[in-house]
Structure 1
Amino acid sequence: MIYKILKKSRTIIALAVLVLTFVLFIDIYEWIPEDTFDSILYLQFVPSFLHFLAVFSLVTAGGFLLILLLTLLVGRFYCSAICPLGILQDVVTRVARWRSKKKRFFKYKKPHPVLRYTFLGIMVLAILLGGGWIVSWLDPYSIAGRSFTYLFKPLVVWANNGVLVPVLQKFEVYSVYHQNLILPYLVPTLLTLALTGAIGYFAWKRGRLFCNTICPVGTFLGEVSRFSLLKVKFDQDKCTRCGKCSGVCKSECINIKEYSVDTTRCVTCFNCLEICPESALSLTPAKKQNAAESSVNQMKPVDVAANSVGHDGNRRKLLVTGLALMAGGRIHALKKNKMPESQKDLLRNEKDHPVAPPGCKSIARFNEVCTGCSLCVAACPTGVLQPALAEYGLSGFMQPHMDYSTSFCNFDCNKCGEVCPTGAILPLPIEEKQVTQMGKAVFVKQNCVVYTDETDCGACSEHCPTKAVDMVPYKNGLMIPQVDQSICIGCGACEYPCPVNEPFKAIYVNGNAVHQEAEKPETGEKQEVDHEEDFPF
């Protein structure tokens, strides 16, 4: 009975975590307050650890320590009930089991230590050396976040606009309304779809294969679980080797022939404990290894030697792949700089740096800490935050950047810093955010329609919130933009409405590698108005 309660409790916790995390990413009406984001994501392991490295506060970012303590108590409970990607895999596995006619869906499989420890080593090196782009492809929370943002959120918006809003408006219910659908770039969407599809396929066929073969968080917590207080153990006198426990073990780690459970792969789902008809399996305090386990451990030096060879091979492949990607990016840049014949008289926008979100302090720091979970992309009300392709180079692939071809940064918004779970984007008060200079506007007179077509425009000046872009006399009664970079904050409100097509914008934002503080614009003296004399009626 106690194991049935444990299993049901674990299922309820997992569903609650999955629903809350999913809602954070698809909250199209912004119903969830920003101050609750940290509470919901506090126990996500990698974001919590990176957040701690960024702020050095256990109160703000100590969730990873609680996960370690929980693992030392009962094993990899995080993987089973807190990790959103793990819970998603369980959902896929449950559907696969419903559709399958097999009596025993799973069976024991040997572990893959070479792959497991290779990916763990890559993850550790990436964190130590600031390779945030590598972390973004291995962190399970970030993978789940991108799936929610780039795959599920557009579907929710489509359902809202095409089904929910028309139906409710027929009943004169206007609490829900049409939402603008901002689709991400095709490449990030396809990559996310491919990775999510591959993980889903693994879950359909082999349960937690991804978690126990590739996921570095699962491997690390598996090593910690070797020292956990409570472990699943066999009572050989009671066991009849019916195989029911092995048939429901989604980690494929129960070897009924040897009466053993691979603790490092067990995700503490309690399925085996609940289904065993003889109560031969129990969650008991850890005991000393028996002679058979000791003999297996004596063979580990040979395995380690083999692992090192495999690790070297994988490291070479990773290096070659990285060089190929960098070379490919250079070739792409050369092709991109070919100017069309019809636009030969226009000057191409030359940006020294992309524009990183406010609160990241510097591009280098941002690339080191950000895991590309895309929560800020999902939460951004204007949609200006988009996943980077080549903007940051290889080091910031899929990390968000300010894409002023999509939109602009709202002058009165600081939501990205409020929701960031890793501290890559630090929260800024509105007053501080409004003077944080992410970049500087650059005016290209030769591209401006006032110069080329001799016609009125002024869209950039109209939208500038700090009035860093001002219109000055030009000729024939025309006005032309002029930029005061000292009060410009690089919000993109000038670049976005510019009618000239990219990459020949008449005004664009050149990002700052290190964010600076802009000067406050002069407001001038307040003029008194004679209301009695000027009253219009």
Structure 2
Amino acid sequence: MTLYKLLRKGRIIIAIAVLLLTFILFIDIYEWLPDKTFDTILYVQFVPSFLHFLVVFSLATAGGFVFVLLLTLLTGRLYCSAICPLGIMQDVITRISRWRSKKKRFFKYKKPHPVTRYTFLGIMVLAVAFGAGWIVTWLDPYSIAARVFTYLFKPLAVWFNNGILAPVLQNFEIYSVYHKNLMVAHILPAILAFAVIAAIGYFAWKRGRLFCNTICPVGTLLGEVSRFSFLKVQFDQDTCTRCADCAAVCKSECIDLRNYTVDHTRCVSCFNCLDICPESALSLRPVKKAQGFENVRPSTEEVNNTATRQNTRRKLLITGLALLTGSRIYALKKEKLPENQKNLIKNKKDHPVAPPGAGNIKRFNDICTGCSLCVAACPTGVLQPALTEYGLNGFMQPHMDYTTYFCNYDCNKCGEVCPTGAILPLPLEEKQITQMGKAVFVKQNCVVYTDETVCGACSEHCPTKAVQMVPYKNGLRIPEVDQSICIGCGACEHPCPVPEPFKAIYVNGNAVQQKADKPQEGAKQKVDSEEDFPF
């Protein structure tokens, strides 16, 4: 077996391992993977690592992006072929497409699209510099793949577990696998994730790494770094017979046989061309002088055509975003009420509730890439992707959705798994006094007031006893909130029997998270997050 065959096989093995580990990370419905596994797997994901470094300024904790840059300086864009989960997914789609195709020459050289590439790179750089996290959300390849795993594959895994695996194993009296609930607040994130991956998948099916070399800003950035790589794929013109076998397997479509050149800014270091060349006319070796734009610069007419297409795409993007932010385009909640509830007061939340450890909402929106790893890891499902809660800046970033469930008092997993530092890891003792928001009681909405009936679901589930039942009238008791010890976990809001958005008790989020006073000893109570009926 030749050296290049070993390189190609090794790259494939690493890519499969990375894809499987990342995939399992997001669909681990039984939480079998230890928390440290998250850091190990995600350490070298470029954008999350860089954003995490901006938070902690520690290369030991968040220096994975430096490793990627050094690797690129050595061998080119190997990150795109062996580490990036979205790139590996595209390779899988391309491989299936090639198997099904009858073409002998699946790929051929195509000219680059520099205007489009550098436009998206510029947008990404400005987004990171000015804290426009919502833009990073849609351009970071890791986050795109992560949302696909969370909103498409995880529901399939839960369905398979509940419908097939658990029933079969329980017939053999194996109860380590059991029914799991899937908390899904909205279908829109799944629709968007499917639309994005379908578009990228179509590009991969037809043109291999077209997305990576046209839109992906990480690919463009690493492509520029690749200009200075120590090892590059190069031609031996005296040996090459121009059989085109190399170009036929180049998924980046960057091998120009006419000029015996390789566009190293688009090459993803897959080593396919090295392995297949029958004459060994291609080799991976050092170069004294990196090639520039001279062999890949498009004509003026091509640049103008590309710019026109880009302007059209921008207009479509702006139109789509305007539709997404329309106040009544997507009905989030049905507000139809019976006659006896027409006088209820609508809940007024000044801020959404950000996850514990977010610090403040602005900082959180600036850093979070919406990868949804915390959503996938949340054991109660209270973390859900935001639609309009944060506004446009926080679209698809996680927020505490108490209609789905409430935050487990004894859980701090979201901070442990966050790859960017948007949710800082908090020791459990500190998390239990982190005030994400304050509970607000609306007496006019409470069934004790409106129906003169017994309740108390909010008080029964409050872990800090910030909600207490006090005497009201006719032997009834009504809630009273001590906001000084309230942490905003939503254990009161979720079980309230009054429908949204007229809850008798709800959590108003803090723009900047505070520290709550510690409850008195003996006041805390354990809340069973697995309970089927909250009241």
Give TM-score scaled by structure 2 length.
Answer: 0.93
Change (3 A) 1:506 1:223: same
Q: Is the 2:115–2:307 contact (alpha carbons within 8 Å) kept by the matching residues of 1? A: no
Contact 1:41 1:421 in 2 (8 A): yes
2:326 alignment counterpart: 329
1:212–1:219: 8 Å Cα contact kept in structure 2? yes
Give identity over the alignment, percent. 74
- 1:403 corresponds, among 395, 401, 404, to 401
The residue that corresponds to 1:505 in the other structure is: 503
| Offset, 1:324 | 2.9
Shift of 1:183: 2.6
- State how 1:181-192 maps to structure 2 within 5 Å: 181-192=182-193
Structure 1 residues 296 and 260: CA distance shift in structure 2, 3 A: closer
Counterparts in 2 of 1:457 and 1:336: CA distance versus 1, 3 Å: closer
Are 1:463 and 2:461 an aligned pair? yes
Asked if the contact 1:471–1:480 (Cα under 8 Å) also holds between the matched residues in 2, the reply is yes
Answer yes or no: is 1:71 the counterpart of 2:72.
yes
CA–CA distance in structure 2, aligned partners of residues 238 and 477 of structure 1: 97
Partner of 1:202: 203
What is the deviation of 1:317? 3.6
- What is the deviation of 1:333? 9.7
The residue type equivalent to 1:362 in the other structure is N
Residue in 2 that maps onto 1:283: 284
Which residue of structure 2 aligns with residue 128 of structure 1?
Answer: 129
In 2, Cα distance between equivalents of 1:312 and 1:270: 32
- For residues 457-508 of structure 1, the C-alpha deviation after alignment (integer angstroms, 9 at most, x for no partner) is 1000000000000000001000000000010000000000001110010000
Q: Distance in 2 between matches of 1:361 and 1:301?
A: 50
SS where residue 183 of structure 1 aligns?
coil
The corresponding residue for 2:385 is 387
Q: 1:431 to 1:452 in 2, by over 3 A?
A: same
Summarize the alignment of residues 48-447 of structure 1 with structure 2, pairs less than 5 Å apart. 48-288=49-289, 296=295, 313=311, 317=315, 320-321=318-319, 324-325=322-323, 328-330=325-327, 342=339, 343-447=341-445
Query: Residues 456 and 479 of structure 1 are in contact (CA less than 8 Å); yes or no, is this contact kept in structure 2?
Result: yes
CA distance in 2 between partners of 1:349 and 1:166 (Å):
42
Match of 2:531 in 1: none
Instruction: For residue 227 of structure 2, give the secondary structure of its aligned residue in structure 1.
Output: helix
Structure 2 vs 1, CA of residues 495 and 412 (structure 1 numbering), >3 Å: closer, same or farther? same
Letter in 2 for 1:12: I
CA distance in 2, matches of 1:323, 1:87: 29
Structure 2: gaps of 5 or more residues: 524-535
SS in 2 for 1:404: coil
Distance in 2, Cα, partners of 1:258 & 1:104: 19
Corresponding letter in the other structure for 1:97: R
What per-residue deviation string (whole Å, max 9, x for no partner) do you get for residues 63-95 of structure 1?
000100000000000000000000011111111
Correspondence for 1:448: 446
Q: Deviations over 1:319-366 (max 9, x none)?
A: 95488358x434569998987573420000000000000001000000
Supply the AA of the counterpart residue of 1:171.
F
> Structure 2 CA distance, aligned partners of 1:416 and 1:329?
30
Contact preservation (8 Å) 1:118, 1:311: no
Q: How does 1:451-530 map to 2 (within 5 A)?
A: 451-523=449-521
Task: For 1:83, give the aligned amino acid.
Answer: C
Unmatched segments (≥5 aa) in structure 1: 526-537
Alpha-carbon shift at residue 97 of structure 1 (Å): 1.1
Report the Cα distance in structure 2 between the residues aligned to 1:332 and 1:410, rounded to whole angstroms.
Answer: 33
Question: Residue deviations 1:248-275, cap 9 Å, x none?
Answer: 0011111112111110000000000000
| Deviation for aligned residue 1:521 | 1.3
Q: Secondary structure at the match of 2:93?
A: helix
CA distance in structure 1 between the partners assigned to 2:322 and 2:514 by the alignment = 35
Question: Structure 1's 266 and 173: CA in aligned 2 closer, same or farther, altered over 3 A?
Answer: same
SS in 1 for 2:478: strand
Q: Per the alignment, do residues 456 and 354 of structure 1 end up closer, same or farther by CA in structure 2, a change over 3 Å counting?
A: same
Q: Counterpart of 1:31?
A: 32
SS in 2 for 1:227: coil
Matched letter for residue 393 of structure 2: S
Structure 2 CA distance for aligned equivalents of residues 146 and 484 of structure 1: 38
Q: What's 1:3 paired with?
A: 4
Partner SS for 1:471: strand
Query: CA separation in 2, counterparts of 1:416 and 1:488?
Result: 20
- 1:23-80 CA-to-partner distances (Å, cap 9, x unmatched) read 1100011000112211110000000000000111111000000100000000000000
1:319 and 1:14 mapped to 2: Cα distance? Answer: 32
CA distance in 2, matches of 1:314, 1:294: 26
User: Residues 395 and 198 (structure 1 numbering): CA distance in 2 closer, same or farther, change over 3 Å?
Assistant: same
1:114/1:307 contact within 8 Å kept:
no
Match of 1:535 in 2: none
Q: Which amino acid aligns with 1:251?
A: S
Is the 1:113–1:307 Cα contact (8 Å) retained in structure 2?
Answer: no
**Greater helix content:** 1
The number of residues matched between the two structures is: 521
Change (3 A) 1:207 1:319: closer
CA 1:347/1:41 → structure 2, altered by over 3 Å: closer, same or farther?
same
